[in-house]
């Protein structure tokens, strides 16, 4: 199920369980003891807590009673609705919860083999690029013989309480889960990528076209086993967990448990009727306090739907925290949506397969500008390009690219106290097609993420064919930390870090020479290319000292806007740079003309509009058509 799983804090579940069975003693976790230190980092605020094992709370404990569902979760005395909402989403996906709760049949209590029980459990979470296996004992915090934190409707069902304990162990203590981000928990349960959607910024309540487009995206994520959460933003402290007249709660995370297109009508009329209602189902982690508007549990609107359709939707008339509403009403009231996509990288799948590149890096502050890797965001122009840089290629005419930047968790542990995450983000620059050394001057910025102190920052962007550089940064310069960069494309992107500032000196440098000049060639456009009456499919080849850069083909045009760049480290500055234009044909490509460029080392930047010529011809044998080219030249190799 996992390519590799790392034992959290070095604790091996199978080894520890075997030792307990051999000794006849129930497991007591020394790394997460049954003390107040495992509960709080700011001090006890709930009174005397007694840690009890499930057999001390009921006669017949089980991990699951009648399977696993979102109704198994109730929040308890901790402000971790974000975590419980994520668990509710997880419970609806068997393939996912079996990853988080591995070997669940083997971990279940067996009344026929009581001697096989050792009081030990293990759960798995995806943390900073790898799955970790977290071992816990089964001692749970109680007050007055009742579980303090997450619990199930059934008093003898314990999976939710045990998963919560394992997650609290990862964070250092239970109190560290008080307030958090649902997106983080969704990623920890799946290894997926969370995309936040601001419904206010997207004007989803008023823009019907955008709303319908979003619904299709939400439906696709749901149908492909992604996890979804939502909330209503609280703007003041008083707003937190304030209940609206419609029954919804502000500043509170809800789990999305279903997304459907619901047929209206009854019998054959409903079957042949094309009208379908966009519907979404949510669950309040409190297990109560539901939406009371149209299509709520006891709403008359349900009479518009056949009995069989209601049964398929699982409509119940009870205050269990789960309810349906139209997507229109959803966009009217909710402000934030989190889509956790499961990024499919399996070639055996019938669904879209993504190519994933994973890069690990660090922001490290050093005094030397060429070695500093903590330059801050683009506002700090003097140091911005001193950050880590990663190059990748888009090899299709246009490709949807998903980029996720994750920083190493800096939240609370009992000993270190509560830390704050760094404000992080990234920019994407379109660069020369042959760039292989670090950027030292800003180029064309084509996209950028927001900067926020959350654990993950995500961007989805359509990019044209070409080469790009991602620059992940902290908002302020001089800040240090580790990060994980994930890049998803339709075809392999060959993503890698740019580590060298200029061509390296080798033992052959004295004999073969070393670059004296660096020139960036920017082919802007061409006009009036020769050819037949019909449009052509031109492309450009730039050649300098044996190195060639070829542009993508531009379809059906005689006046292409090439907008491509090449960068050349030149040992022979007096030699020209050749730019050739060809027309793409099935058998043999047609030569359309060329120009030869001679850059002036004393001229930092120059732009030329030149007439195309035959190969080897003189200036007076011009061909129809012109080419516009810009050169940027420097004798200092780390200036471009």
Cα 14 versus chain centre, distance: 33
Residues with Cβ within 8 Å of residue 279, at least 6 apart in sequence = 259, 260, 261, 262, 295, 313, 324, 325, 326, 327
CA atoms within 13 A on the CB side of 84: 28
In terms of Cα–Cα distance, which of 366, 338, 299 is closest to 214? 338
In terms of Cα–Cα distance, which of 592, 600, 623 is closest to 610? 623
Spell out a b/e string for 489-498, using b for 16 or more CB atoms within 10 Å of the CB, else e: bbeebebeeb
Backbone angle region of 225, left / alpha / beta, with phi > 0 → left and psi within -120 to 50 → alpha: left
Which token pair is 396?
Answer: 């299709």
In terms of Cα–Cα distance, which of 61, 40, 94, 81 is closest to 162? 61
Question: 529 with 558: CB under 8 angstroms?
Answer: yes
71, 122, 222, 252: which is the annotated catalytic residue?
252
φ/ψ of 73, rounded to 5, equals -115, 130
Active site residue 151: no
Active site residue 252: yes
Taken as a whole, the chain contains a residue count of 640
Whose tokens are 């920019």? That residue is 427
End-to-end distance of the chain based on CA atoms, in angstroms? 46
Residues paired with 400 in a beta bridge: 462
Q: How many CB atoms lie within 10 A of CB 24?
A: 8
Q: How far is CA 124 from CA 121, 189, 596, 605, in A?
A: 11, 8, 61, 56
71, 80, 181, 284: which is the annotated catalytic residue?
284
| Rounded distance between C-alpha atoms, residue 62 and residue 55, angstroms | 10
Which token pair is 563?
Answer: 């907008």
Question: 270 with 264: CB under 8 angstroms?
Answer: yes
Question: 567 with 640: CB under 8 angstroms?
Answer: yes
| Rounded distance between C-alpha atoms, residue 41 and residue 405, angstroms | 29
| Rounded distance between C-alpha atoms, residue 310 and residue 320, angstroms | 17
What is the three-class DSSP state of 247?
A: coil
Question: 428 with 464: CB under 8 angstroms?
Answer: no
| Rounded distance between C-alpha atoms, residue 400 and residue 390, angstroms | 18
Q: Hey, CA dihedral for 146, 151, 157, 161, is it positive or negative?
A: negative
20, 80, 81, 173: which is the annotated catalytic residue?
81
Question: 57 with 142: CB under 8 angstroms?
Answer: yes
Which token pair is 125?
Answer: 């979470």
Residues with Cβ within 8 Å of residue 443, at least 6 apart in sequence = 429, 430, 431, 469, 565
Active site residues: 81, 252, 284
């Amino acid at each position: 199920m996992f390519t590799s799983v790392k034992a959290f804090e070095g604790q091996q579940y199978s080894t520890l369980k075997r030792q307990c069975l051999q000794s006849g003693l129930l497991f007591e976790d020394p790394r997460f003891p049954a003390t107040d230190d495992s509960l709080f980092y700011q001090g006890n605020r709930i009174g005397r807590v007694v840690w009890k094992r499930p057999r001390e709370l009921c006669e017949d404990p089980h991990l699951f009673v009648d399977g696993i569902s979102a109704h198994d979760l109730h929040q308890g005395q901790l402000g971790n609705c974000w975590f419980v909402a994520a668990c509710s989403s997880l419970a609806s996906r068997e393939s996912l919860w079996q990853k988080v709760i591995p070997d669940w049949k083997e971990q279940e209590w067996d009344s026929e083999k009581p001697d096989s029980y050792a009081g030990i459990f293990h759960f798995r979470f995806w943390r900073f690029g790898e799955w970790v296996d977290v071992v816990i004992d089964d001692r749970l915090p109680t007050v007055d013989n009742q579980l303090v934190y997450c619990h199930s409707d059934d008093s003898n069902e314990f999976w939710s309480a045990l998963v919560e304990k394992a997650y609290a162990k990862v964070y250092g203590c239970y109190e560290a889960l008080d307030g958090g981000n649902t997106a983080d928990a969704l990623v920890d349960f799946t290894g997926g990528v969370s995309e936040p959607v601001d419904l206010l910024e997207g004007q989803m309540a008023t823009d019907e076209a955008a709303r319908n487009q979003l619904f299709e995206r939400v439906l696709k994520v749901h149908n492909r086993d992604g996890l979804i959460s939502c909330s209503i933003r609280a703007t003041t402290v008083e707003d937190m967990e304030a209940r609206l007249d419609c029954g919804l709660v502000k500043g509170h995370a809800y789990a999305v448990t279903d997304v459907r297109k619901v047929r209206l009508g009854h019998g054959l009329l409903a079957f042949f009727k094309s009208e379908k209602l966009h519907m979404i189902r949510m669950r309040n982690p409190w297990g109560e306090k539901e939406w009371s508007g149209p299509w709520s549990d006891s709403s008359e609107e349900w009479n518009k739907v056949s009995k069989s359709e209601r049964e398929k939707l699982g409509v119940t008339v009870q205050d269990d925290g789960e309810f349906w509403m139209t997507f229109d009403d959803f966009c009217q009231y909710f402000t934030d949506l989190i889509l956790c996509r499961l990024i499919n990288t399996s070639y055996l799948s019938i669904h879209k397969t993504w190519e994933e590149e994973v890069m690990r890096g660090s922001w490290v502050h050093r005094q030397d500008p060429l070695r500093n890797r903590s330059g801050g965001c683009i506002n700090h122009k003097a140091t911005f390009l001193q950050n880590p840089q990663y190059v990748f290629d888009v090899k299709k005419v246009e490709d949807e690219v998903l980029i996720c930047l994750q920083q190493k968790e800096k939240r609370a542990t009992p000993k270190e106290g509560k830390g704050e995450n760094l404000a992080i983000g990234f920019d994407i620059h379109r660069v020369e097609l042959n760039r292989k050394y670090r950027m030292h001057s800003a180029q064309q910025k084509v996209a950028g993420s927001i900067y926020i102190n959350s654990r993950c920052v995500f961007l989805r962007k359509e990019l044209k064919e070409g080469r790009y550089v991602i620059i992940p940064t902290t908002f302020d310069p001089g800040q240090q930390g580790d990060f994980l960069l994930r890049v998803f494309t339709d075809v392999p992107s060959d993503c890698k870090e740019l580590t060298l500032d200029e061509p390296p000196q080798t033992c052959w440098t004295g004999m073969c020479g070393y670059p004296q000049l660096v020139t960036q060639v920017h082919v802007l456009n061409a006009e009036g290319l020769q050819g037949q009456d019909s449009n052509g499919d031109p492309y450009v080849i730039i050649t300098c000292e044996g190195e060639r850069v070829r542009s993508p083909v531009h379809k059906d045009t005689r006046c292409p806007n090439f907008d491509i760049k090449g960068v050349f480290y030149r040992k022979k500055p007096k030699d020209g740079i050749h730019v050739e234009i060809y027309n793409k044909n099935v058998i043999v490509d047609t030569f359309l003309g060329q120009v030869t460029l001679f850059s002036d080392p004393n001229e930092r930047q120059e732009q030329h509009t030149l007439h195309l010529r035959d190969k080897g011809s003189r200036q007076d044998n011009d061909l129809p058509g012109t080419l516009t080219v810009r050169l940027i030249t420097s004798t200092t190799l780390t200036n471009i």
